Amino acid sequence: MNRNPHRLWGGRFTEPPAEAMRRFHDSFPFDRRLYAHDIRGSIAYARALARAGLLTSEEAEQIVAGLAQVREEFEQGTFVPASEDEDIHTAVERRLHELIGEVAGKLHTGRSRNDQVATDTRLYLLEEAIPTVEAGLRELQAALVQQAQAHPQALMPGYTHLQRAQPLLFAHWLLSHFWPLQRDRERLADCRRRTAVLPLGSGALAGTPFPIDREALAQELGFRAVSPNSLDAVADRDYIAEFLFVAALIGVHLSRLAEDLILFSTAEFGFVTLADAYSTGSSLMPQKKNPDSLELTRGKSGRLLGDLVTLLAVLKGTPSGYNKDFQEDKEPLFDAVETLALTLPVVAGAVATMTVHEERMAAALDEAMLATDLADYLVEKGLPFRQAHQIVGQVVREAAETGVPLSQLPLACYRAIHPAFAADLYRVFDAARSVARRRAVGGTAPEAVREQIRQAEALLASEMPAPE
Ligand code: ARG
């Protein structure tokens, strides 16, 4: 009994699915967002069937026109789902059948939902997910570069272990958050390369018995290659795992930037003030202005990590070929894309609009942060660095014990500790000088940072590498 010809299976079944089973099993509520990709894949497939002589060109044109109408209904919001629409593939085919009749039944020749869903998901990544995330990354990178250009001279304390370490240019700190995002964009390009491999034409698992020109199909759909093994092609979800890893790592990068800015915006630091537009208030304490945009960014990174772990746990231990477990790949994927689509513009906006307090950053510098420069001074006088480190340690202790800052300690004190110290040692106590000396590539000197900005701008202007 197959009361409903538009279920894609059912010939051998005597009972419809239980209501609980249907609710459990149906993916239409979340995979309907693949409609444009599903229809695009089907239009290309109808043409491939015609080229293979399995459809007349009239039939193919009927199918293509019908599919275009189904797409229009989704776009206009007039598509009416039916109870048997278990997934987007079923829904589109059911509606196509209503629109054009029996010829709709020829579209699935040699095709399975297994190669179809893998094709749809890859198209979604290539055409929607990756471009969205890449544009969001670029916007944030641009905001970082723009702030770096607006504050080319500002000095700030640099930290290790969250303890004051050495002076930095504020622009150097900003750009330290540019490069991880650049690597993320490279990772996306790499992920896109492996995503752009076409599974369609693999059938359910064993390949298609029909003379489908898979290369032509790949070209038409914008894939750079065809999958070399049908059994692998229907079960491969590596490209989703790779994307989710990149998304999780972007989450980690955003979280670290957010954490820095949350600290820097406290009264204790006071290095930056977030714009009101990216802050919120307290319902109880009238004076509060909270960096919610950044805290939520930090929180969302947990969710992105979860999406990756969810998928890996779903895939682990599944036997070869397609398994229904794989339907669980979509919600974490969609969640990660939506999360980043929401988060990236907020972080970019918060960075672009924050007020920078150069004087507060300068005031947070202290002379002890120049102790390394003092050791370098002794190195220039010919001492081995290890010994210089030891000697400056004694100077720092002496200064701490007598309560005198390093720059006020008399020359006699210095010379009593080591005779290599001379009157020119006091030149060391200048944070701008310390920064300016670090002019080797990648250092914090203004000229090295200018070079970084130049590189960053060139990377922002260049397109993402195309899939080879
Ligand atoms: N909704 C399914 C999924 O997302 C489509 C593939 C169904 N394949 C099957 N053999 N039942 O994985």
- Is 114 near ligand 1, meaning CB less than 6 Å away? yes
Report whether pLDDT(387) > 90: yes
Nearest CA residue ID for atom 10, ligand 1: 114
- Is 121 near ligand 1, meaning CB less than 6 Å away? no
Domain end marker among 330, 363, 396 = 363
Measure the CA–CA gap between 183 and 178, rounded to whole angstroms.
Answer: 9
Nearest CA residue ID for atom 12, ligand 1: 327
pLDDT tens readout for residues 205-245: 999 999 999 999 999 999 999 999 999 999 999 999 999 99
> Could you tell me if residue 447 is inside a domain?
no
The total number of structural domains in the chain stands at 3
Q: How far is the CA of 324 from the centre of ligand 1 (A)?
A: 6
Q: How far is the CA of 317 from the centre of ligand 1 (A)?
A: 18
- Domain with residue 188: its CATH number is 1.20.200.10
Mean pLDDT of 247-273: 98
- Collapsing DSSP to helix, strand or coil, 100 comes out as helix
Q: What phi and psi values does residue 284 have, to the nearest 5 degrees?
A: -105, -45
Which atom of ligand 1 is nearest the CA belonging to 322?
Answer: 10
pLDDT tens readout for residues 310-348: 999 999 999 999 999 999 999 999 999 999 999 999 999
Q: How far is the CA of 117 from the centre of ligand 1 (A)?
A: 7
126 and 268 together in one domain: yes
Domain end marker among 58, 88, 106 = 106
Domain end marker among 363, 386, 418 = 363
pLDDT tens readout for residues 117-159: 999 999 999 999 999 999 999 999 999 999 999 999 999 999 9
> Could you tell me if residue 464 is inside a domain?
no
Q: How far is the CA of 2 from the centre of ligand 1 (A)?
A: 20
96 and 171 together in one domain: no
175 and 94 together in one domain: no
- At 383, the pLDDT band (50, 70, 90 cuts) reads very high
130 and 40 together in one domain: no
Residue 418 annotated as catalytic: no
- What the block records as the tokens of 96 is 């196509």
Q: How far is the CA of 222 from the centre of ligand 1 (A)?
A: 23
Which atom of ligand 1 is nearest the CA belonging to 326?
Answer: 12
Q: Which segments within 398-439 are labelled E, that is strand?
A: none
Q: Are 55 and 49 in contact (CB under 8 A)?
A: yes
- At 1, the pLDDT band (50, 70, 90 cuts) reads very low
pLDDT tens readout for residues 168-206: 999 999 999 999 999 999 999 999 999 999 999 999 999
pTM metric for this prediction: 0.94
Nearest CA residue ID for atom 2, ligand 1: 327
239 and 90 together in one domain: no
- Is 326 near ligand 1, meaning CB less than 6 Å away? yes
> Could you tell me if residue 286 is inside a domain?
yes
95 and 131 together in one domain: no
> Could you tell me if residue 245 is inside a domain?
yes
H or E element, residue 160 = strand 155-160
- Is 339 near ligand 1, meaning CB less than 6 Å away? no
Q: pLDDT over 70 for what percent of the chain?
A: 98
- Is 38 near ligand 1, meaning CB less than 6 Å away? no
399 and 357 together in one domain: no
Residue 89 annotated as catalytic: no
Q: How far is the CA of 195 from the centre of ligand 1 (A)?
A: 19
- Strand-strand pairing, 155-160 and 163-169: antiparallel
For residue 57, what are the domain limits? Answer: 19-106
Task: Check residue 164 and report its DSSP letter.
Answer: E
Identified catalytic residue from 83, 282, 320, 407: 282
Closest CA to 352 of 83, 149, 203, 194: 149
186 and 256 together in one domain: yes
- Is 322 near ligand 1, meaning CB less than 6 Å away? yes
- Is 87 near ligand 1, meaning CB less than 6 Å away? yes
DSSP H helix total and E strand total for the chain: 20, 6
- Is 444 near ligand 1, meaning CB less than 6 Å away? no
The β-bridge partners of 159 are 164
Helix axes 178-195, 130-150, angle to 10 degrees: 160
- Is 170 near ligand 1, meaning CB less than 6 Å away? no
394 and 309 together in one domain: no
- Domain with residue 94: its CATH number is 1.10.275.10
310 and 420 together in one domain: no
Measure the CA–CA gap between 94 and 81, rounded to whole angstroms.
Answer: 9
Closest CA to 294 of 322, 336, 248, 257: 257
272 and 421 together in one domain: no
The β-bridge partners of 155 are 169
> Could you tell me if residue 416 is inside a domain?
yes
> Could you tell me if residue 338 is inside a domain?
yes
307 and 402 together in one domain: no
The β-bridge partners of 272 are 356
- Domain with residue 373: its CATH number is 1.10.40.30
Measure the CA–CA gap between 16 and 341, rounded to whole angstroms.
Answer: 39
